[in-house]
């Protein structure tokens, strides 16, 4: 596999594409209600720092302010979920959680964290829980308030 598989991706229809400045090493899962509704299930995402992504077809990206401190990005043409972005002022402003499924390949990436585990629905669970960092909503809110990374 080429490095491009983990540094490039896009939406289902191909009208929105992106290139990451740095190849990601890991991704995580979010069980919160907003991510569940946005992605149709458990949201798998990877953190991209501000300025770490270059878009092609950016005019086809729609945004929705899902809370007072974050927005969601999606393709206006095919509806693909693209990202969650922190918009609130502070040290984490601009942090993006890119939908992992939009990458051309997840090969070689490590599944290393889960957030909002206290919001898991029904039988949704992953194997090997002891191999990942698992955080509740309270843990995530405390970390964001302290300026750390969420998911």
pTM equals 0.80
Q: In order along the chain (151 residues), what is the average pLDDT of each group of 10 residues?
A: 68 98 89 85 90 96 91 97 90 89 91 87 78 86 70 43
Task: Tell me if 71 is assigned to some domain.
Answer: yes
The pLDDT of residue 54 is: 96
Which CATH number belongs to the domain containing residue 129 in this structure? 3.90.1590.10
The pLDDT of residue 24 is: 87
Q: How many domains does the chain divide into?
A: 1
DSSP 3-state of 24: coil
In whole angstroms, what is the distance from residue 68 CA to residue 117 CA? 22
In whole angstroms, what is the distance from residue 59 CA to residue 43 CA? 24
The pLDDT of residue 97 is: 92
The pLDDT of residue 2 is: 42
Cβ contact 73:82 at 8 Å: yes
The pLDDT of residue 6 is: 66
In whole angstroms, what is the distance from residue 26 CA to residue 6 CA? 10
Cβ contact 45:28 at 8 Å: yes
Task: Tell me if 1 is assigned to some domain.
Answer: no
The pLDDT of residue 5 is: 56
In whole angstroms, what is the distance from residue 41 CA to residue 119 CA? 12
């Amino acid at each position: 596999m080429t490095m491009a598989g983990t540094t490039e991706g896009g939406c289902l229809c191909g009208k929105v594409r992106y290139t990451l400045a740095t190849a990601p090493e890991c991704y995580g899962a979010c069980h919160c209600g907003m991510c569940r509704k946005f992605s149709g299930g458990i949201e798998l995402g990877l953190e991209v720092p501000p300025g770490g992504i270059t878009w092609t077809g950016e005019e086809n990206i729609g945004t929705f302010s899902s809370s007072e401190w974050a927005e969601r990005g999606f393709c206006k043409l095919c509806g693909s979920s693209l990202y969650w972005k922190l918009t609130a002022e502070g040290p984490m402003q601009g942090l993006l959680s890119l939908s992992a499924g939009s990458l051309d390949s997840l090969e070689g990436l490590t599944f290393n964290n889960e957030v909002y585990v206290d919001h898991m629905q029904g039988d949704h669970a992953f194997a090997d829980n002891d191999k990942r960092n698992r955080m509740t909503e309270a843990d995530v809110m405390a970390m964001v308030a302290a300026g750390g990374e969420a998911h």
